[in-house]
Structure 1
Amino acid sequence: MIRCIRLTAAFSFLLLVALLVNAGRVQVYEAENYGASPANRRGQIVRYAQPRGAVLVAGRPVTGSRDSGGRLRYERTYTEGPLYAPVTGYASQTYGTSLLERAEDGILSGADDRLATFPWWDRLTRTHRRGGSVRTTINPRMQRAAFDGLGDKKGAVAAIEPATGRVLALVSTPSYDPGELSGNDAAVGAAWRRLNGAEQQPMLNRALRQTYPPGSTFKVVTAAAALESGRVTDIDAPTDSPDPYPLPGTDTRLGNAAEGCEDAPLKDAFRASCNTVFARLGARIGLAGLADTARRFGFNDRMLRIPSPVAPSNFDTRMDASQVALSAIGQYDTAATPLQMAMVAAAVANGGQLASPSLVDEVTDARGVVVAGGPRRTTRQVTGPVTAQQLQEMMVDVVEHGSGRPAAIKGVTVGGKTGTAQHGVRNEGTPYAWFISWARAKDSYEPAVAVAVVVEDAAADRADISGGGNAAPIARAVMAAALG
């Protein structure tokens, strides 16, 4: 009898040990797999059990939370959703997050360890912290000016503070209301299908994720390469450029829309946007020199984050001489985001120094205590200060005496460059209208803002499309808002 009791006790003890081992295995080794299982909704229930932290613009929240009363209790809400959608992105219980909502999800959802005094204790007790806030660099006046300026046109605006890299405006139109995607009911699924299937692609962030041929705005980069390489030493000296210009190794002759481009000095060619002068300069500089200058301005950077990821702008590094010539005028397969072209203008305005762009000033906990500043802002020398000064002089000349006149602001020094970018098969697509610019108050040595505007206006008459006519007035409104 005693032997049976002992055997039963030993067997029960083994079962207990096996149970404890299995419990430990589940809780320690398999916890991550069970937590990530689609069948386990506990994580989602906990995630949405409290309000999400706010995205702030000029200290005011442009996001909020609504108590839905469901198991996934709090849904995201947006103030002026279409205006700030290219900044915030969406936070959906069904489709996840995008843009700043994704990049700063840890802070906003409360999962980031920086929000806790003792992170290990919160993990041990499975405490879910209140979400913190993200203070953006966006200037609401400039954001509104860009949004209203684009109106019902398809396009984008990016504006940067040249000295710091702070992103002051980021607009993409047509836009959408991210609040339509917040919940998990049938209406959310219908909105998702409608927005993704729309011909106008309202969910595409054209300022960050779409690249366009930059057209003549790229001539700023080509001019910088010509000056830095010594191919041009005097911007007022003739350039010995024919009109038309035979592209190297081909029977194609490149012409100009403007008059007086033959042998035009760099300054005059920049103001008149002479394709022949810049194509010939590009061929003389060569692929290596032009590609290096483009790289220093930010082209081909696949790691750019603000902290939302930015599509890399392209400058091909494997081309023949004729393709290099076309790339020098912003054609062939050269492509840039509006943010990239704002960076080009910012580097010129800032004496040849390019500050890394950033959309976040600081993050705070739920009580408003700063837990981290924005990302470390680095600068790099893109051109020498003398080259930058010459580029500034040429860009000011475009606004004062050339196609950039619609961007002029009384009492303000404004530099700009227009562009009309051809695209499509045999360039049959409606051209894109570009304008990049910077502005500096007359009594200041520091530029206030650099702006890039691109307009895709398929409804416009092809002959009426120009960077000066379509894009420059929008840039002017944004610069005026920056200067108050």
Structure 2
Amino acid sequence: MTRHIRHAGVFCALLLVALLLNAARVQVVQAPAYDGNPANRRPEIFRYGQPRGDILVDGRPVTGSKDTREHLRYERTYTDGPLYAPVTGFASQLYGTTLLEKAEDGILSGTDPMLAPFPLWNDFTRARSRGGDVVTTIDPAAQRAAYEGLAGRKGAVAALEPSTGRILALVSAPSYDPQPLSGNGAAAARAWKRLNADRDRPMLNRAVRQTYPPGSTFKVVTAAAALDAGVVTDLDAPTDSPDPYTPPGTRTRLTNASRGCRDASVREAFTLSCNTVFAKLGVEVGATDMTATAQAFGFNNPALRIPFPVARSTFDTSLDEAQLALSSIGQYNTRATPLQMAMVAAAVANGGQLREPYLVERTTRPGGSTLATAGSRAVRQAMYPSTAVRLRALMREVVEDGTGRRAAIRGAKVGGKTGTAQHGLGNSGTPYAWFVSWAQGDGDLEPRVAVAVVVEEAEADRGDISGGGDAAPIARAVMKAVLGSR
């Protein structure tokens, strides 16, 4: 009898070992296959089983979570959704995440290991920490000024703090409300279809994901290259520039929108925005130095993240002299995001040093304690400090006496550069109106804001469109909001 009991006990022990081994096989070895099976809804149920952390602007959450009492329990909500959509992106139970919602998903969803006091225990129990919060660098007054300035028009605005690289405003128009995309029902599917069918592409973040020919705003880069290379030593010396100018190897006659460009000095040409002078200047600087300066400002950099990726702004590295002439006035293959052109203005304002832009100030645990901070940002010398001083003076003259008068702010130093960029087949498209600028308050030791504005479809007649008329007032409103926000 005892022998039979012993055999039964050994058999039960073997069954128990087999059961444990099979459970380990299912939960460890085959877990990835089960997790990735489309029929398995447990990861989704788990993901939306608790509120998501929030994205904060000036200490105030612009996101939230709504309890639906369904299997996918918590849906994302947005405060002022269209205003902050180019920053937050969306978090949808059907269509995933974009922008900050995607870049900081680990913190917001609670899956980031840094949120767990005992990560190995969480792995064993499959528990998840509560979502943390993401604190942005956005200035709400500047963001609203940019949003309202673009009202009803296509375009984008990017604003930076030159000394740190903090992004103060990031606006794209037309915008959209991320809220209807949050759920998983028919309403979310209808909203997705409607937004993707919209010819104005409201979900495109024009501030960081769309590149444009920068037009005459690129003359800031060309002027920096000419000064750094020693091609220009005296801003007031005649440049021996014909009007019109024929680029080398072509019969094309390049003209100006302003009078007085023939043989104009660099100071006069910058204020009047003379194409002929700067096209010729780019050829004299040469492709090597023009490319080096453009890349020092951030062009041709495919790795820029803020923390979500930014489209690469381009300056062609294989150019003949005629192509170089056009590239030097922001045409041909030269393309830039509004954020890139804000970086150009910021480098001028910051003594030639370019701080890498960033959008997240810090991330926090659910209780509010700091998890991680932005830390020290990479800095690049875009031009000599002496060159930056001279460019700041040139940009101030554009606002005080040139094409950028509508950006002037009483009691502040403001520098700017207008641009009107041709595009389309045979330049048949409505030109883009550009304005890049920086501003320093009367009591400030250094400029506090740099801005880039592009308006795709200006309201003026085609022949009257200009950065000074259409984009400069928007930049002025953003700069004024930053200067008045202390």
C-alpha distance in 2, partners of 1:298/1:214? 14
Of 32-41 and 74-83, more deviation after overlay is shown by 32-41
C-alpha distance in 2, partners of 1:154/1:414? 25
Which residue number corresponds to residue 63 of structure 1?
63
Which residue number corresponds to residue 51 of structure 1?
51
SS at match of 1:246: coil
Which residue number corresponds to residue 76 of structure 1?
76
Which residue number corresponds to residue 383 of structure 2?
383
Aligned pairs for 1:391-406 within 5 A: 391-406=391-406
SS at match of 1:478: helix
Report the AA paired with residue 364 of structure 2: T
8 Å CA contact 1:215, 1:421 repeated in 2: yes
Q: 1:187, CA displacement in angstroms?
A: 0.6
Q: Which runs of no fewer than 5 residues in structure 1 stay unpaired?
A: none
Q: 1:25, CA displacement in angstroms?
A: 2.3
C-alpha distance in 1, partners of 2:473/2:30? 59
Which residue number corresponds to residue 310 of structure 1?
310
2:257 is equivalent to residue 257 of structure 1: yes
Report the AA paired with residue 407 of structure 1: A
Q: 1:39, CA displacement in angstroms?
A: 1.6
2:449 is equivalent to residue 445 of structure 1: no
SS at match of 2:262: coil
C-alpha distance in 2, partners of 1:287/1:4? 93
Q: 1:432, CA displacement in angstroms?
A: 0.2
Q: 1:251, CA displacement in angstroms?
A: 1.1
Report the AA paired with residue 319 of structure 2: M
Report the AA paired with residue 244 of structure 2: P
C-alpha distance in 1, partners of 2:233/2:445? 25
Q: 1:416, CA displacement in angstroms?
A: 0.1
2:428 is equivalent to residue 425 of structure 1: no
C-alpha distance in 2, partners of 1:229/1:292? 11
The superposition leaves residues 455-481 of structure 1 with CA deviations (integer Å, 9 ceiling, x where unpaired) of: 011654212311000000000000000
Q: 1:277, CA displacement in angstroms?
A: 0.7
Aligned pairs for 1:23-38 within 5 A: 23-38=23-38
The superposition leaves residues 395-431 of structure 1 with CA deviations (integer Å, 9 ceiling, x where unpaired) of: 0000000000000001100000000000000000000
Q: 1:32, CA displacement in angstroms?
A: 2.2
8 Å CA contact 1:398, 1:416 repeated in 2: yes
Of 234-243 and 293-302, more deviation after overlay is shown by 234-243
Which residue number corresponds to residue 176 of structure 2?
176
SS at match of 1:439: strand
C-alpha distance in 1, partners of 2:114/2:261? 59
Which residue number corresponds to residue 97 of structure 1?
97
C-alpha distance in 2, partners of 1:465/1:26? 66
SS at match of 2:440: strand
Q: 1:8, CA displacement in angstroms?
A: 8.9
Q: 1:442, CA displacement in angstroms?
A: 2.5
Which residue number corresponds to residue 140 of structure 1?
140
The superposition leaves residues 157-207 of structure 1 with CA deviations (integer Å, 9 ceiling, x where unpaired) of: 000000000000000010000001000000100100100110110000000
Q: Report the CA distance shift for 1:460/1:180 in structure 2 as closer, same or farther (over 3 A).
A: farther
8 Å CA contact 2:432, 2:458 repeated in 1: no
The superposition leaves residues 198-239 of structure 1 with CA deviations (integer Å, 9 ceiling, x where unpaired) of: 011000000010000000000000000000001001111111
C-alpha distance in 2, partners of 1:301/1:32? 36
Q: 1:2, CA displacement in angstroms?
A: 11
Q: 1:23, CA displacement in angstroms?
A: 2.5
Of 122-131 and 217-226, more deviation after overlay is shown by 122-131
C-alpha distance in 2, partners of 1:481/1:161? 13
Q: 1:445, CA displacement in angstroms?
A: 2.3
Question: Would you say how many aligned residue pairs link Structure 1 and Structure 2?
Answer: 484
2:107 is equivalent to residue 107 of structure 1: yes
C-alpha distance in 2, partners of 1:413/1:458? 27
SS at match of 1:453: strand
Q: Which runs of no fewer than 5 residues in structure 2 stay unpaired?
A: none
Q: 1:443, CA displacement in angstroms?
A: 3.0
Report the AA paired with residue 355 of structure 2: A
Which residue number corresponds to residue 329 of structure 2?
329
The superposition leaves residues 60-101 of structure 1 with CA deviations (integer Å, 9 ceiling, x where unpaired) of: 000001111110000000000000000000000000000000
C-alpha distance in 2, partners of 1:233/1:311? 35
Q: 1:242, CA displacement in angstroms?
A: 1.3
Report the AA paired with residue 237 of structure 1: A
Which residue number corresponds to residue 481 of structure 1?
481
8 Å CA contact 1:360, 1:375 repeated in 2: no
2:206 is equivalent to residue 206 of structure 1: yes
Aligned pairs for 1:355-370 within 5 A: 355-370=355-370
C-alpha distance in 1, partners of 2:100/2:273? 38
Which residue number corresponds to residue 339 of structure 1?
339
Report the AA paired with residue 230 of structure 2: G
2:472 is equivalent to residue 462 of structure 1: no
Which residue number corresponds to residue 348 of structure 1?
348
Which residue number corresponds to residue 152 of structure 2?
152
Q: 1:376, CA displacement in angstroms?
A: 3.5
Of 328-337 and 283-292, more deviation after overlay is shown by 283-292
Of 161-170 and 444-453, more deviation after overlay is shown by 444-453
Report the AA paired with residue 205 of structure 2: N
SS at match of 2:286: helix
8 Å CA contact 1:345, 1:437 repeated in 2: yes
C-alpha distance in 2, partners of 1:8/1:117? 45
8 Å CA contact 1:358, 1:375 repeated in 2: no
C-alpha distance in 2, partners of 1:418/1:42? 55
The superposition leaves residues 130-179 of structure 1 with CA deviations (integer Å, 9 ceiling, x where unpaired) of: 11111100000000100000110100000000000000000001000000
C-alpha distance in 1, partners of 2:431/2:94? 38
Which residue number corresponds to residue 229 of structure 1?
229
C-alpha distance in 2, partners of 1:411/1:347? 23
**What percent of counterpart residues are identical?**
65
Q: 1:318, CA displacement in angstroms?
A: 1.3
TM-score (norm 2): 0.96
C-alpha distance in 1, partners of 2:418/2:228? 22
8 Å CA contact 1:441, 1:483 repeated in 2: yes
C-alpha distance in 1, partners of 2:33/2:213? 45
Q: 1:255, CA displacement in angstroms?
A: 1.1
C-alpha distance in 2, partners of 1:410/1:2? 102
C-alpha distance in 1, partners of 2:334/2:433? 16
Q: Report the CA distance shift for 1:375/1:443 in structure 2 as closer, same or farther (over 3 A).
A: closer
SS at match of 2:351: coil
Q: 1:11, CA displacement in angstroms?
A: 7.7
Q: 1:19, CA displacement in angstroms?
A: 4.2
The superposition leaves residues 93-114 of structure 1 with CA deviations (integer Å, 9 ceiling, x where unpaired) of: 0000000000000110011111
The superposition leaves residues 325-348 of structure 1 with CA deviations (integer Å, 9 ceiling, x where unpaired) of: 100000001100000000000000
C-alpha distance in 2, partners of 1:29/1:230? 66
Report the AA paired with residue 275 of structure 1: N
C-alpha distance in 2, partners of 1:135/1:249? 54
Q: 1:3, CA displacement in angstroms?
A: 11
Of 111-120 and 412-421, more deviation after overlay is shown by 111-120
